[in-house]
Amino acid sequence: MKNHFSTTLKTVLIGTIVVFLTSLFTANAQTICNNEINTQGDYTYEFWKDYGNGCMVLGDEGAFSVEWSDISNMLAKKGLRPGSWDNIITYAADFQPHGNSYLCAYGWTANPLVEYYIIESWGSWRPPGEQGFMGTINSDGGTYEIFKTRRIVGSEIYIQYWSIRLSKRTSGTITVGNHFRAWEDLDMPMGDLIEVTFCVEAYQSNGTADIYSMFISNAPPEPTLTPTEYENGDVDGNGVIDIIDALLIAKYYVGIITPGMHWDLADTNCDKIIDIIDALNVARYSVDLISYLPDCT
């Protein structure tokens, strides 16, 4: 079921959702060009570089972007401290490195001191090289190769754990506990978690990365009612597909999740991803700009 509107009201409503979506991506924007650790809402953020040009721009919730040039080494990240084995990172990014860079889940443990990476995409070089292969893990729809390496910085020696996805991607979910358990099964013990973050690291390179959606949860949202009771697109289950449903989907996409909604009804183009296209489809349908939303359940 949908509402019917005049042409003028259609224009107003579409304009409303465009303004709303723009505000989601620009809220709380703050540019950081010097080394800094701080908090924003529920997340800790950190920007660090040794030398070169680079800045991090904070978005709403877990979102951020970063741009760098002639950098030696740089990290820009947002996440939870200390984090948890139950954490699930859901992200979407536009990752454009020119040279060596990683898009990854990242963090440290203490006792033992370990730096860990779960690499989703990379630039010109696939880390960590040929040494230290330990095995593989299947997680979140992909296969990862596991490596254990040792790094020496000055007089400090510490261990690095790596899970490297065989095929690059720039959106999806990372169930960090799957990797932690796989590492321990391979005699790579995890210590006390210091952090679980989503990170862009760059080394002797140039590039940009826009992590336009990122949130960390402990479980994926689940529908509360049988999907066949409602039409696809009616995520609030009130029997009407309207602009509110579109706004709820847009908020979900950037990590602002309203409990109790029918998220199984939010995929409006059957690509098995809930994204901004689904929100716009519902908005267009609600004002008669399109006449059909497929049943993707």
Q: What is the pLDDT of residues 124-165, one digit of tens each?
A: 999 998 889 999 999 999 999 999 999 887 778 889 999 999
| CA–CA separation, 68 and 97 (whole Å) | 9
pLDDT of residue 222: 47
Question: Active-site positions?
Answer: 115, 201
Residues in the chain: 297
Residue 28 lies in a domain: no
Look at the pTM and tell me if it is higher than 0.85.
Answer: no
Spatial CB neighbours of 12, under 8 Å, sequence gap ≥ 6:
none
**Does 256 lie in the same domain as 173?**
no
In a domain, 295, yes or no: no
pLDDT score of 27: 46
Number of domains in the chain: 2
| Structure confidence at residue 226 (pLDDT) | 46
Strands 88-110 and 192-193: antiparallel
Give me the domain span that covers residue 143.
Answer: 33-217
First to last CA, the chain: 17
Query: Would 279 be classed as within a structural domain?
Result: yes
Residue 78 in domain:
yes
- Last residue in a domain, options 156, 190, 217: 217
Structural contact between residues 216 and 204, judged by C-beta atoms closer than 8 angstroms: no
Select from 168, 187, 217 the last residue of a domain. Answer: 217
CA distance 248 to 283: 11
On whether residue 291 sits in a domain, the answer given is no
Q: Does any domain span residue 267? A: yes
Yes or no: say if 56 and 23 are a contact pair by the CB < 8 Å rule: no
Instruction: Tell me, yes or no, whether 222 lies in a domain.
Output: no
* Same domain? 108 vs 241: no
153 shares a domain with 42: yes
Residue 31 makes CB contacts below 8 A (sequence gap 6+) with 55, 56, 57, 58
Which residue positions in the chain have pLDDT lower than 70? 1-28, 219-229
For 133, the 3-state DSSP assignment is strand
Q: Give the per-residue pLDDT at 255.
A: 79
Indicate the residue among 197, 217, 237 that finishes a domain. Answer: 217
Cβ-based burial of 291 (10 A; exposed 0-12, middle 13-18, buried ≥19): exposed
Return all residues near 7 (Cβ < 8 A) that are at least 6 apart: none
**CA–CA gap between residue 144 and residue 123 (Å, rounded):** 17
- The amino acid at 262: H
